[in-house]
Every structure is written in structure tokens, then in C-alpha cells.
Amino acid sequence: MASRTEARFSTYSGAPSLQPSLAPTFETQNTSARSRSRMSQRTSTINERMPYRNTDPSVNASSSTLSTTDPRSQDLKAFAGFLDRMQDGRLDKQRYEMTSNKSEEVSKLALGAKVERALARRMTAQDAQFTNKKALDIEKRSLEVEAN
């Protein structure tokens, strides 16, 4: 039997994947048949215990949770471990939190930048020509000199 982390090749692309292939194989058919039989056994034991409503919490918890050898529970535990390592109290203390005034100011600046970009796109789409104010003043002076 192949392990869960063994790379399989996808049916449609040649790329390796950790997900099972879309095409059924002898191995996947056997695995799915075993999981169906385990699931039917598990549901039958849960259904047998449900009418009695056992008050012992350990019995209820053990019948409704996944076993520790289940690869899904191992994946969840590994994922939870990664999340725990990512949360570091020392780094949380160093994280900068803006005051409400500062966050309003930053949001206004961001909105202004968005408006400027939108106007610039609109103006370039209309073939607008941007000229410096100094260049306009020089042109006006030259026209005045020529008129006099």
C-alpha cells in the first residue's frame, strides 16, 4: 500500500500531486472499499450507543472523534502545530497598531492616491497633455512681446 504523502501523478497533467488521481486504480478501489467498511462499522457503533445516551463523556468523545492513527487527524495536528509556531507573543508586542486618527489619515491618503491614479488614467486616455505652469508663463510673455 502506498503512503499518503507519496507523490502521485495527475491524470490530466504530468505534474506530481499529493491528491489522489482522478482515474481509479486497483489500489484506490481497495482503499475506498476499506474506508467505506470502516465508516459503516463506525456509524453502526455510534447508532447503537445513541439511544442509550451514555452520560460518561469519555465514551461519547471516543466514539465521535477520529482515531489518532487516522492520517486526517495527523494532518490537522501538524497544521495546528504550524499555526502555533507562527503565533509569537514577543512579535505581537512589537506589532505597531495605529490610532483611529492615524488610520483615518492613512485611509484618506490612500483614497487621494486612488483618485489621482484614476484621473491620470482618464487624462491619458483622452490624450491630455500635461504642461508646466512655467512653460505657459513663458509662452504668454513671448506673445505679449510680439503683440507690442
50-66 residue pLDDT tens: 544 445 555 555 545 55
- Helices and strands, counts by H and E, the chain: 6, 2
This prediction has a pTM of 0.26
Which has more pLDDT, 46 or 83? 83
Task: Return the pLDDT at 9.
Answer: 52
pLDDT band at 72 (very low <50, low <70, confident <90, very high): confident
pLDDT at 87: 82
C-alpha closest to that of 25 among 14, 9, 45 = 9
Residue 8 phi, psi (nearest 5): -110, 155
Select from 84, 45, 80, 79 the least CA-distant residue to 65. 45
Q: Per-domain residue ranges for the chain?
A: 9-86, 99-147
Give the pLDDT score at 63.
47
In degrees rounded to 5, what are phi and psi of residue 62? -70, -30
Q: What would the 3-class secondary structure string for 21-58 be?
A: CCCCCHHHHHHHHHHHHHHHHHHHHHHHHHHHCCCCHH
- Which has more pLDDT, 50 or 131? 131
Query: Bridge-partner residues for 17, per DSSP?
Result: 8
